[in-house]
Amino acid sequence: MPGLLLGDEAPNFEAETTQGRIRFHDFLGDSWGILFSHPRDFTPVCTTELGRAAKLAPEFSKRNVKMIALSIDSVQDHLSWSKDINAYNGEQPEEKLPFPIIADANRELAVKLGMLDPDERDKDGMPLTARVVFVFGPDKKLKLSILYPATTGRNFDEILRVVDSLQLTAYKKVATPVDWKPGDSVMVVPTLPDEEAKKLFPKGVFTKDLPSGKKYLRYTPQPE
């Protein structure tokens, strides 16, 4: 079945975009990357999403994350649509956005990456592209996948939050608990022995008492 699983390497596809032709691995370089897809241009939910993504572009840039979108229409349509997106944001209706949009008119890339929504179809009966979020690490491997149906808009604040979690946990032996936000306490991974945890986390490791008597809820202040 087409699609990407966690840990899979991103295909090094070539595509036409609003910023010229790209080869995906070259586009990512040594950065993290987010690829997010859209059912088509000039649709209401997509316009709000790309507007929000454009507003948050500086935040993603601070995190060394390159953004790239995909929609099934042509580059020329993407450029025209970009004017609407900028106008939605209350800015000058320019063709340029702070990230490229891939043209995927024949849905080849959407099929290859497993992005189609079987329940939502266009006027010709073709499945729409779902709202996928793929986050890739600097090693070009898939670190996170969120698949929304075509009818449900994404929460880009949540996408920023999971990027913060992915980047923290990629380099520190911690996990982030439910509803974690940057600056909150984190959890020590279960595979780390207590003595090693004490050395790694000089701010202290705190265990929550549980009826089972098991000491598996180990917290520490977020490491630098």
CA distance 80 to 83: 6
Amino acid at 215: K
Catalytic choice (15, 46, 65, 67): 46
> What is the pLDDT, as a whole number, of residue 124?
66
Secondary structure percentages of the chain, helix, strand, coil, to 5: 30, 25, 45
Q: According to DSSP H, which parts of the chain are helical? A: 24-28, 44-62, 75-88, 108-112, 156-171, 194-200
d(CA 151, CA 136): 24
199 is catalytic: no
Single-letter residue type at 157:
D
CA dist 141 and 138 (Å) reads: 8
- Cα separation, 176 vs 186, whole angstroms: 5
Task: Put residue 213 in one of left, alpha, beta given phi > 0 → left and psi -120 to 50 → alpha.
Answer: left
Q: How far apart are the first and last CA of the chain?
A: 41
Q: What is the pLDDT along the chain (224 residues), one digit of tens a residue?
A: 357 899 999 999 999 999 999 999 999 999 999 999 888 899 999 999 999 999 999 999 999 999 999 998 999 999 999 999 999 999 999 999 999 999 998 888 888 888 876 666 666 666 667 788 999 999 999 999 998 887 889 999 999 999 999 999 999 999 999 999 999 999 999 999 999 999 999 999 999 999 999 999 999 999 98
pLDDT at 1: 39
| CA of residue 3 relative to chain centroid, distance | 16
